[in-house]
Structure 1
Amino acid sequence: MTLTVLTGPAAPLAGSHAKSAIAKTAADRPLPLTATGFEGDEQADRRVHGGPEKAVHHYPWDHYDAWRADLGDLPLLDHPGAFGENISVAGLTEDAVAVGDIFRLGGALVQVSQGRQPCWKLNPRFGLPDMARRVQQTGRTGWYYRVLQPGTVAPGDGLDLIDRLAPDWTLRRLWQAMYVDRLNRDELRGIAALDVLAEGWRKYAQRRLDSGRVEDWRPRLEGRT
């Protein structure tokens, strides 16, 4: 499968009270990629979406078969964009990709900055009250890139790994530490000191080290404030 580039505007989200840009459609032309994302891509709530550490969302096409096995043949899963991703390509998953990995993306240079923390807007998107929790619990979360070098990206361009700064810290390992073995102090110390990881994740790890407690993810997964 070749690279698909996807963008979308903020619009009312069916089945909810909110606006969202989770509905992405495939681009049919080259798009500029800046430090804050692709031209024409929007975020409805900039408090928790977008920004330099979440400039590009990558969701593995490889996970779609697993979701079809779990959920049935939903039309939403017939093509990329179901999870609000900006880029889709086969052959890369959280097991192999590590925080700090640097990729050439068309004419741009991007770096893996953090895993994706599922948002409650996945629930109305899929018509399931617990879809965000399912994404978190399976580890099929996707990830974000920061942009090191802006450039133009076209559908079908390459996504080529050119450097690995922390290869031991795969996104699967990060997910295991943050969502499964959540108070493993050795892992938390490693995360807190991982300078290629987005600052917000490092702060989560440090707070757990300091408090000995895990934060409550339920409002983010269920849309409660």
Structure 2
Amino acid sequence: MKIVSTNIGDKKEILWKKKKVTTGIYKYPVNEPIFLDVEEVKGDEISDRKYHGGINQAVYAYSLKHYAYWKPLYPNLDWSLGMFGENLTVDDIDETKIHVGDTFKVGETILEATLQRSPCFKLGIRFNNMKIVKQFWNTTMCGVYFKVVQTGAVKVGDEFQQIKSKPDNPTIAALLIQRKKEKEA
């Protein structure tokens, strides 16, 4: 696995259902390294700290390979990396093979896989179509949240070198499936 894009977002206010909503989901690629801190990516907007950021959701990574699935479903969008609100676009991150607690050396950092991304209405706003939220729930292409065990900078081209494996823990995809069942109950 290798970083193909580092992405941050600015604070953006949008009108949704006649209410102002503040979001940081509109991420865009940057050419310089980004600093992964304990609870956030420096310079990246986190508008809703109840559901984003914090120790167990400091960094969000999404697979470039997943873009090939989504692009034909939304051909009229202006596609760019960071589209899913990810800080790191990784060439091939597989949620069905990454377990909670798997740890990676990436650039100057050490990252530990913690959680799945459970989509909310802001993904629908980003895609200008609320159907994406349900479609996202019905895949295992949820991306991976990471805890930052060792802070530092990462950049395009940095490799994920696995340094700890936790195969007895659930996979990130299994967490999404479990969360979906809880939500539907």
Tell me if both proteins adopt one fold, taking TM over 0.5 as the criterion: yes
- Inter-CA distance 93–28: structure 2 relative to 1 (3 Å threshold): same
Contact 2:28 2:83 in 1 (8 A): no
SS of 2:95 mapped into structure 1: coil
What is the root-mean-square deviation in Å for CA atoms of aligned residues?
2.0
Q: How many residues align?
A: 182
Alpha-carbon distance in structure 1 between the residues aligned to 2:37 and 2:169? 29
After TM superposition, the runs of 4+ consecutive aligned structure 1 residues lying more than 4 A away are none
| Comparing 156-165 and 58-67, the one that deviates more | 156-165
- Inter-CA distance 156–71: structure 2 relative to 1 (3 Å threshold): same
Unpaired runs of 5+ in structure 2?
Answer: none
Is 1:25 the equivalent of 2:28?
yes
Residue 2 of structure 1 deviates from its aligned partner by 4.5
SS of 2:121 mapped into structure 1: coil
Contact 2:3 2:155 in 1 (8 A): no
From the CA coordinates, give the structure whose radius of gyration is larger: 1
Provide Cα deviations, 1:32-63, integer angstroms capped at 9, x if missing partner: 22101221012111122111111000111111
Contact 2:96 2:140 in 1 (8 A): no
**Which amino acid in the other structure matches residue 106 of structure 2?**
L
1:1-225 correspondence runs (5 A): 2-13=3-14, 17-72=20-75, 74-76=77-79, 79-167=80-168, 169-179=170-180, 182=181, 214-215=182-183
**Which amino acid in the other structure matches residue 170 of structure 2?**
W
Unpaired runs of 5+ in structure 1?
Answer: 183-213, 218-225
Contact 1:54 1:113 in 2 (8 A): yes
- Inter-CA distance 54–2: structure 2 relative to 1 (3 Å threshold): closer
Contact 2:117 2:176 in 1 (8 A): no
Please identify which structure carries the higher strand content: 2
Q: Percent identity?
A: 28
TM-score (structure 2 length as normaliser):
0.88
SS of 2:52 mapped into structure 1: coil
Contact 1:8 1:25 in 2 (8 A): yes
Please identify which structure carries the higher helix content: 1
Larger RCO, structures 1/2 (Cα 8 Å, 6+ apart) = 2
